[in-house]
Amino acid sequence: MPTDAPQPSFVLIRPQMGENIGAAARAMWNFGLDRMRIVAPRDGWPNPAADAMASGAGRLLDEAEVSEDVASGIADRTYVYATTARPRELTKPVFSPEAAMKDAAARIARGEKVAVMFGPERSGMENADIAHANAIITVPVNPEFPSLNLAQCVLLVGYEWRRAAGEIEDVVVQGQTTQIADQRDTEALARHYEERLEEAGFFYPEHKAENMKVNLRNLWSRMPMTRADVQMLHGVLRQLLRGKS
């Protein structure tokens, strides 16, 4: 069964090869998308070649909605984007993939039903297809080589959807010890070093001592430390001073 997550439908318009349909399904499922629609597949449906390429995403193919034409494939959608690499003479809003999926996320949150159309591999969608769409998505590719494989385009838009849906963090800290040090930990470390360095005569000359202490504390607060980092730095200082007193 499809997931309950609100999401756009991805509509493949007249796809030519079963392998590309399967690869598109795999790309969709990589990013948690499972609403596939297929319009007039050239080699008919179902297609064994698609199953072979889906690699674990075969459920999307089993549940795909198949239509004979574009109008019926998007009939229940309230807003439709058409992906194309070529400039079109049709007057429509033109989005980057990132902006389009942010717009789609906002529309879906308001209860709208959104679809993204992807054209056939050889030449993309015709103007007659794009005329059904409310807006265009254009990928900023190399103008000397603008052609994208169907699955590549699906993957790119799927990634931007997942970003727009808030399911990707731009930066995370990973590892076995990721608990971030709090201000109490940092303050204890700062005092430990300050006291030991004071005993060692580090803060010299005296008229510069206060500023040196402020700079040292600023160093600790500027460092993004985990609690494990703090414990290690305490241990480093203890080991250095062992036997020195």
- The single residue listed with the structure tokens 């400039």 is 87
Whether 158 and 219 share a structural domain:
no
> Strand 36-39's sheet: what is its strand order?
65-67, 36-39, 9-13, 114-118, 79-83, 135-137, 94-95
Whether 138 and 205 share a structural domain:
no
Report the pLDDT value the prediction gives residue 73, as an integer from 0 to 100. 97
Domain CATH code at residue 40: 3.40.1280.10
Report the pLDDT value the prediction gives residue 177, as an integer from 0 to 100. 63
The reply to whether 210 falls in a domain is: yes
Report the pLDDT value the prediction gives residue 245, as an integer from 0 to 100. 56
Q: Residue 152: which domain range?
A: 9-164
Whether 67 and 104 share a structural domain:
yes
Whether 155 and 194 share a structural domain:
no
Whether 91 and 191 share a structural domain:
no
The reply to whether 98 falls in a domain is: yes
Whether 157 and 188 share a structural domain:
no
**What tens digit of pLDDT does each residue of 206-245 get?**
999 999 999 998 998 888 888 889 999 999 999 988 866 5
The reply to whether 176 falls in a domain is: no
- The single residue listed with the structure tokens 């430990």 is 192
Distances (CA, A) of 70 to 63, 155, 227, 237: 18, 22, 57, 70
The reply to whether 45 falls in a domain is: yes
- All residue ranges of the chain with pLDDT < 70 are 1-2, 167-178, 243-245
Domains in the chain, number: 2
Alpha carbon 50 to chain centroid, angstroms? 25
The reply to whether 95 falls in a domain is: yes
Alpha carbon 236 to chain centroid, angstroms? 39
- Helix axis angle, 150-164 relative to 97-109, nearest 10°? 50
Report the pLDDT value the prediction gives residue 170, as an integer from 0 to 100. 67
